[in-house]
Amino acid sequence: MDIRELLRENIRTLAPYSTARDEYQGELGIYLDANENPYDNNYNRYPDPHQKNLKRRLAEIKGVPVEKIFIGNGSDEPIDLVFRLFCEPRRHNAVSIAPTYGMYKVAAAINDVQMREVQLEPGFTLDAEKLLAATDENTRLLFLCSPNNPSGNCFPKKEIEKVIRRFNGIVILDEAYIDFAGQPGFLSELDEYPNLVILQTLSKAWGMAGLRLGLAFAQPLIVDTLSRVKYPYNINVVTQKIVLEQLRRSPDAQIAEIVSERGRVLEGLAKNPVIRKIHPTDANFVLVEVDEPRTIYDRLIGAGIIVRDRSRIKGCEGCLRITIGTPEENDRLLETLKKL
Ligand SMILES: *Cc1c(COP(=O)(O)O)cnc(C)c1O
């Protein structure tokens, strides 16, 4: 498969915007090249458009070389960009599992690209053959999310592999919750799949949702092309600086605590007669089925606890999605549910 052939013609031939910082890259000097205000207030200079320091650090942490890392303004940015790179509006289409993260469909609609949703099997399991059968010669993108949101489960490695190997387009594998999963993701096998884009984020396990930093890992041709199409200064000075500081501490202790709390919350929920079904989870949330989701949702709101009502989504009838909180927050949740 020639990835270059999959790129839209206008993107393949794009002459990207060249920033002042692209033309001169020294460190010290008198900068009169970018029409900035010369008076230092920490924010008067444009950020590094290539996020070099941040990428070097992320390369160490993730064990992936910098040329295979794209940094976006949240995962939202690479999700939108893959449509702009690979899909000719109204001609190409994309395929995704359902139910899944809502942003793929929104990005498809904004880019005027048809999204074909393939319902997961009972128990939210993945049938690779069925997913592949929904593709045709105009399918450019295929979205998988593992652990999946809102169901919480990981898909078996073999099934994901089958999809990546057999699909003649780009597979976007969203691993936003992989740090909470019992199984490793696909990062260490990135080089085996030229058509794979892995999405990760600092919004969940790393606790930086407010800073907006999403990651895409792929072969250099895809990463280069994403970089040419993105807004030149997509990651601002403050985010680059604070993320670098935050990356000095390991998230492992918090991840371990959240995973342990997840076990405790699941046990508590299992004892509660209001809960009809607990869906297996590899993420920092759990999808539960109840008889009257809206009533339970409202009662929780009354107690100051906000969960996500997913009951109107096809395949999630009767379901609420509950994020794992601090031990105290989880106690409050379990106590409140007990009193219903
Ligand atoms: C939360 C989440 C993300 C993260 O999005 P950001 O824009 O990076 O905050 C990505 N994918 C899924 C499936 C999510 O649930």
Give the start-to-end residue ranges of the domains of the chain: 3-17+49-246, 252-339
Per cent of the chain over pLDDT 70 is 100
HSE-up of 153 (CA within 13 Å, CB side)?
18
CA of 257 to the centre of ligand 1 (A): 21
CA of 75 to the centre of ligand 1 (A): 6
Mean of per-residue pLDDT scores for the chain: 97
- Give me the pLDDT at residue 195, please: 98
pLDDT digits (tens, 9 = 90+) for 1-28: 899 999 999 999 998 898 888 888 787 8
CA of 79 to the centre of ligand 1 (A): 10
pLDDT digits (tens, 9 = 90+) for 137-176: 999 999 999 999 999 999 999 999 999 999 999 999 999 9
CA of 203 to the centre of ligand 1 (A): 7
Rg (CA), the chain: 22
3-state helix, strand, coil in the chain (%, to 5): 40, 15, 45
**Ligand 1 atom nearest to CA at 145:** 13
Q: In this structure, which CATH number among 3.40.50.150, 3.40.50.300, 3.10.129.10, 3.40.640.10 belongs to the domain 3-17+49-246?
A: 3.40.640.10
Query: Please, which residues have CB within 8 angstroms of residue 135's CB and are 6 or more apart in sequence?
Result: 95, 116, 142, 167, 168, 169
CA of 149 to the centre of ligand 1 (A): 9
Closest CA to 9 of 82, 84, 109: 84
Q: Can you tell me whether residue 200 is helix, strand or coil?
A: strand
| Residue from 73, 198, 203, 234 whose mutation best tests the ligand 1 pocket (most atoms within 8 A of CB) | 203
- Give me the pLDDT at residue 24, please: 81
Q: Which residues line ligand 1 (CB under 6 A)?
A: 74-76, 101, 145, 149, 174, 176, 201, 203-204, 209, 214
**Ligand 1 atom nearest to CA at 77:** 7
How is domain 252-339 classified at the CATH fold level? Aspartate Aminotransferase, domain 1 (3.90.1150)
CA of 193 to the centre of ligand 1 (A): 23
What whole-number distance in Å separates Cα of residue 35 and Cα of residue 28?
17
Pick the residue whose CA is nearest to atom 2 on ligand 1: 176
